[in-house]
Amino acid sequence: MLRETLEMNIKRIADFFIYSKNFLIRKSPFKSMLNSFVEGLKDFLTMKKKLKMAQYRLNYHRHQFQKMEQLIAENNNHSFLKGNNLNETR
């Protein structure tokens, strides 16, 4: 009885190690953890460059928006943005 229980427990432990080994081979959590760490490190090291690119894009779009507003104001007689041409009709 004691021998059978001991053999059963040893078999269960061996099965657990086999399942664990197969899981580690199939999912490889250490490899995925290493890959995510490397990606995070790359993002951290290129953060300044990405910030500069985002600021450049923001300034570019702001400039385009201001040019568009200016064109609209120049072509619209009833616009308050027109400024100097507003009082010409008086």
The answer, as to whether pTM is greater than 0.75, is no
Assign 3-class secondary structure to 15-82: HHHHHHHHHHHHHCHHHHHHHHHHHHHHHHHCHHHHHHHHHHHHHHHHHHHHHHHHHHHHHCCCCCCC
Per-residue pLDDT at 88: 52
The pLDDT of residue 90 is: 45
Q: What is the pLDDT along the chain (90 residues), one digit of tens a residue?
A: 889 999 999 999 999 999 999 999 999 988 999 999 999 999 999 999 999 999 999 999 999 999 998 888 777 666 555 555 555 554
